[in-house]
Amino acid sequence: MTTVAGTGGAGAAGGPAGPSGPWLVVGLGNPGPGYAGNRHNVGFVVTDLLASRIGGKFKAHKSRARVLEGRFGAPGSASGCRVVLAQPMSYMNLSGGPVTALRDFYKVPVERIVVVHDELDIDFGVLRLKKGGGDNGHNGLKSLTKSLGPGYFRVRFGVGRPPGRMPVADYVLKDFSAVERKELDYFTDRAADAVESLVLDGLERAQTTYNS
């Protein structure tokens, strides 16, 4: 899909892109190089990929997040829309504060917020798109829902369950395995496509294509 850098998306119910206001696409993760390859940081990986497609660079924002403003869709296309990509620079369990600040700054309703995050209860690389729902023990989602309510969209990237008796926290804070890394680029590229489709085409069409 084509994206362009710059500084308008699916309707409130997840329909095709319309003209009103930007979308806020949030990748969840923990800041700092020590976390960069962790399973818990796959939201950062996907939003980094979207930023590279747009052709811009993230910049620090007063909300305690890194942001990049741009557009999804072909240049000059009437079906394109404005997007703000964001990566909260708080730790995962405090993500709600920066995202709420961005929501207020850009005046984005919760129905135009998309969150990309890791999901334990889905096999590695499998995607599930949905609107609303619980947090399933995910501390980033827990913080977001406390701040925003549950009505945002989610692009859930499967990382699978930990082996044996490994604690969940240890598992998600470890890097993807060598075997997983061989396929990670393919799966994150597909996740980035799913984000664009959700924003441009609406939830139902994106689910049909990407809910594997």
Residues labelled as active-site residues = 40
Note whether 192 and 152 are within 8 A (CB): no
Report d(CA 14, CA 36) in Å as an integer: 31
Gyration radius from the chain CA atoms: 16
Single out the residue of 81, 23, 71, 79 nearest to residue 51, CA to CA.
Answer: 71
Report d(CA 100, CA 82) in Å as an integer: 19
In sequence order, the β-bridge partners of residue 37 are: none
Note whether 116 and 27 are within 8 A (CB): yes
In sequence order, the β-bridge partners of residue 23 are: 83
